[in-house]
Every structure is written in C-alpha cells, then in structure tokens.
Structure 1
Amino acid sequence: MRKPELAAAIADQTGLTRDKASEVITAFTDQVSAAAARGEDVTLIGFGTFNIRSREARDGRNPQTGASIRIPASKTVASRPARDLRIKSAD
C-alpha cells in the first residue's frame, strides 16, 4: 500500500477528504522524522516503535572494483512492530 492508497482508506474510514487524510499522514511522518532527528523514540502502542540505532564502522568492498573500503559509523532509524501486529507463520 502506498501513501495515496493509505490516504484513500483513511478518508473512507473517517469521513475526511483524501487531501486532508494525506495531510494527516504527512504530518505523522514529519513528526516521526523530527523525533528521530532529536534522538527520541516514537512508540505507538499496538503498532510498534521507531528508534535510532547506531551502526559501527566496518570494512566493505566496492562491488565494481573489489577494492577494500572503510564504511564509517552511522545512525539509522529502525522500526519494530508491536507483538499483535507481527504476522504469524502457518507452520
């Protein structure tokens, strides 16, 4: 599902216009991004958690030349779904 489809589904469920639902989605993603930039976690009970994870510096290889390169340390946003949201396997 892409953003326009999500906006349409939210609009149908809430009675908002599609444009207003799209604005709500944009505001949500902007707030999650801003919290991540501040280093804060965002937890939505029943949905999941967005948090910052640090990646250590590591050695890698350039796939075109095979040359060894140093990949610097970085930070990234990770998400973890709530237990109720996880898909259970059919095993």
Structure 2
Amino acid sequence: MTTVGTLTRADLSEALHRQIGLSRTESAKIVEQILTEMCEALARGENVKISGFGTFVLRDKGERIGRNPKTGVEVPIAPRRVLTFRASQMMRERIVTSS
C-alpha cells in the first residue's frame, strides 16, 4: 500500500475548476460554502450525511476513569462530545477494491 498525500481545500477547488470549468475563485467559494454549512450543522448538533460517501455523527461520551500510561495513576476523563465518521457501504467497497 502506498501513501498518497492529503486532499486539501485547494485540491478540491482545483478539481472543481478543472472538471466543471468554474473559475478558481468561484470554485474556492463553493468549497468554503460547503464546508461552512457542514460545520454549522455539526455545531447545531445535527449529523451530516453525504449519500455515497458517509455520515459525520456527533456522540456524547460520558465521564469515565482513565489511566496515565506512564505512571499508572487513575484520572477522571470529563464528559465530552466527539465527532465520528462512518463511511457508506459504497465508499467502503471503493476503498477495498482500490487497494
């Protein structure tokens, strides 16, 4: 398996520019608008589902006891909200067949 790189906002904008023919400025604005909308929905406590790609889900984790691996001392871990991603079945199949 080879490591490729990281897909960035600029990469997404460039792909829109090349494949759809939008200007680079318009492409960058669209990418920003999509990401802003996703962030705002998550901030409101909503899940974000992109058909054929996956779902971003907010989960509330309760307080629990953790352990410092270096010292072995138990410490309480505060409750928190975490963001998880679950790939769609279509995405999982594409990832498995491409490796």
TM-score (norm 2): 0.75
TM-score (norm 1): 0.80
| CA RMSD after TM alignment | 2.1
User: Number of residues paired by the alignment?
Assistant: 90
The Cα shift of 1:85 comes to: 0.9
Question: Do the aligned partners of residues 57 and 47 (structure 1) sit closer, same or farther apart at CA in structure 2, a change above 3 Å counting?
Answer: same
Of 89, 93, 96 in structure 2, the residue corresponding to residue 88 of structure 1 is: 96
Of 24, 32, 38 in structure 1, the residue corresponding to residue 44 of structure 2 is: 38
Name the counterpart of 1:69: 75
Matches within 5 A, 1:3-82: 3-62=9-68, 67-82=73-88
Where do 4+ consecutive residues of structure 1 move more than 6 Å? none
Q: Deviations over 1:27-80 (max 9, x none)?
A: 111111111111112212111111211112122345676643221111122211
Amino acid at match of 2:60: S
Bigger mean CA deviation after superposition, 61-70 or 46-55: 61-70
Bigger mean CA deviation after superposition, 66-75 or 23-32: 66-75
Bigger mean CA deviation after superposition, 71-80 or 55-64: 55-64
The sequence identity of aligned pairs, in percent, is 32
- For 1:17 and 1:62, how far apart are their aligned partners in 2? 51
- For 1:88 and 1:57, how far apart are their aligned partners in 2? 36
